[in-house]
Structure 1
């Protein structure tokens, strides 16, 4: 029997796919060309109530698991890479609240009223000048005075910061705390300022609009997510990031190969009864795309199974070295496979894929997926893996 929850999740994916083709894909070229935020897509997601997909059903959201959220990001990325990335980043922040702030009256109210009713878009500020890309280290610290708090941070990048309704910010617990002793603090738009410190003129992912900025915020201490960022990072931030990013990269690659398939079919129609030479190359590329999809989907299914009960044992499993290696390997594999598949699509299509004014163009796709290896540097991740593999035994 089909459950109400299953119906909700099915509708979530079908509505997202419709927005991807009817809205995101229509504006993707202009978003890329003008390096502008994909307002049309985010507005459509908001109107359809899809920004609260990761909010638990208890608070009015869809209660979608990792597999559904990944499929949603992949579907949207087929229409517009930047839109898919914004949605993925938003889901990551929502998940941190949903999984680590339950029991907090402030955050439970925020999920119901802001995330579900208002469909607020949440961004994050995890980078900081002076930490050299290490998100598990902070220089800034929250300043607490009674029941009030304030925070200032000099960020290297603020993902779609000027277009968000709220920011989830990492910082040290106190001014004298260790750099790794961090917290997550939520700030609504009316409680902070962003002084942009650079431009966002990038090779790809131009619609994410993520220049650096100096952040200054204030509010109540109840806006601090209970517990430590160390737990939130290992149990939520990292798995949601690596799995949802891998899913959207597979979506970008799928659209690039979809254009290659359309080009091959067009050629085949000109010579009925024969198989174009580039059809074989397309067939091989589809094998790699399927492997990429299965990679992120298997991690998503495993995560959903591990967290189904949301108990202490499940949370502990997310802190294991074996799980950390699995996620890191997923990130490296998918971030390296996506550009390869876009390159193969370009080779299949040829000059028509190279031209920006062609319906078979894959230039935007190619440029967008080149960011994958840079979002949490593959070099940094490989170095961590190397250290863990010296002591880890896969039993």
Structure 2
């Protein structure tokens, strides 16, 4: 089956549990189980390992579909796929042969460990060092935020390459759950994205040398080639899927007998507010699909994603999607009023979408990305905008 059709079949299960896992701030076991069983955890795994042989274009389409049911579950899944993409493209042959078939069978859900107390969410530096010991590598790591951390079967962890290495010499390591001692620190009682269970974890253990992903100290290449594009495309698609679901709910409500009085279909003001929401979502969708096409084309031709203009496009996608999808739902809440837009007892979950999407600008902070866009803009003297020829 087409991956989007598979996602569409799973989406009702995600939607059915969404309110409960949000209210209780519990991991969406039912939804993740459905994704394990229907093969979507292996979307990006090549067919030779038993996966669905999808690409980042499929990731975008599936993420939008799943997020229309439950944004927390969709984000958990998209971040898992981000890790899988890094493994497919950069893991050792031995690690790929062992791990990818198990991912394809839905046996392994992978969480990302990149945050660190001393550096926050800065992706391309690390503080805690790896230590060599006989034929193993020892790691000891604290992470203030790990999405789905207590429920993962494996982890991709950024570490400083060695005790004497600079913070910019980052190594990415895969560790299975059974190779680690884990201790959760505190809980996850957040405003939105409550079902992601993004707890703080202390991790320690030892792994084999072949579990290094990419070159030792060479995580930047993995990040630019895989982690950043998969992350920004997946996140933007999730946020757009949730906001689109909110607009769809309002449009359906407007034509039903339960239409609130604030939705006067003869009002020019109502039409103008709906237009603003639609425009925000159209802009995100258009930019998402342009950047997706650029990434897929560069992967097809073997071109690097490290060009300043490409990095600007990816960072702009993340910032724009975070801002405009939240703005769109904010406008919808204002449009439908207190009882329909603001109360948890509303027949449509705008209140949950509003809280969830407020996190988008904080999920790898927009301020950091805007600083990067500004610096990169000074390097792109030709000002190569999206859709402008690179020649």
Determine the structure 1 residue equivalent to 2:337.
350
Give the conservation status (yes or no) of the 8 Å contact 1:49–1:116: yes
Shift of 1:190: 0.7
Pick the aligned partner of 1:336 from 323, 339, 343.
Answer: 323
Pick the aligned partner of 2:93 from 88, 95, 104.
Answer: 104
Determine the structure 1 residue equivalent to 2:387.
none
Pick the aligned partner of 2:125 from 137, 144, 169.
Answer: 137
- Residue 189 (1) aligns with residue 180 (2): no
TM-score, length-scaled by structure 1: 0.91
Inter-CA distance 270–368: structure 2 relative to 1 (3 Å threshold)? closer
> Counterparts in 2 of 1:1-395, with a 5 A limit?
8=1, 10=2, 12-20=3-11, 22-101=12-91, 104-112=93-101, 114-227=102-215, 228-266=218-256, 275-277=265-267, 278-309=270-301, 311=302, 314=303, 316=304, 318-351=305-338, 352-393=340-381, 394-395=383-384
Alignment RMSD: 1.8
Shift of 1:270: 10
Aligned residues: 376
Q: Deviations over 1:313-361 (max 9, x none)?
A: x2x3x11111111111111111000110101111222121212112123
2: distance between equivalents of 1:207 and 1:176? 39
Shift of 1:209: 0.3
Stretches of structure 2 lacking an aligned partner (at least 5 in a row): 385-391
2: distance between equivalents of 1:108 and 1:94? 13
Shift of 1:283: 3.4
1: distance between equivalents of 2:189 and 2:112? 20
Give the conservation status (yes or no) of the 8 Å contact 1:268–1:276: no
Shift of 1:109: 2.5
Stretches of structure 1 lacking an aligned partner (at least 5 in a row): 1-7
Give the conservation status (yes or no) of the 8 Å contact 2:75–2:238: yes
Give the conservation status (yes or no) of the 8 Å contact 2:254–2:265: no
2: distance between equivalents of 1:339 and 1:275? 24
Inter-CA distance 175–346: structure 2 relative to 1 (3 Å threshold)? same
Instruction: Please state whether the residue corresponding to 2:127 is helix, strand or coil.
Output: coil
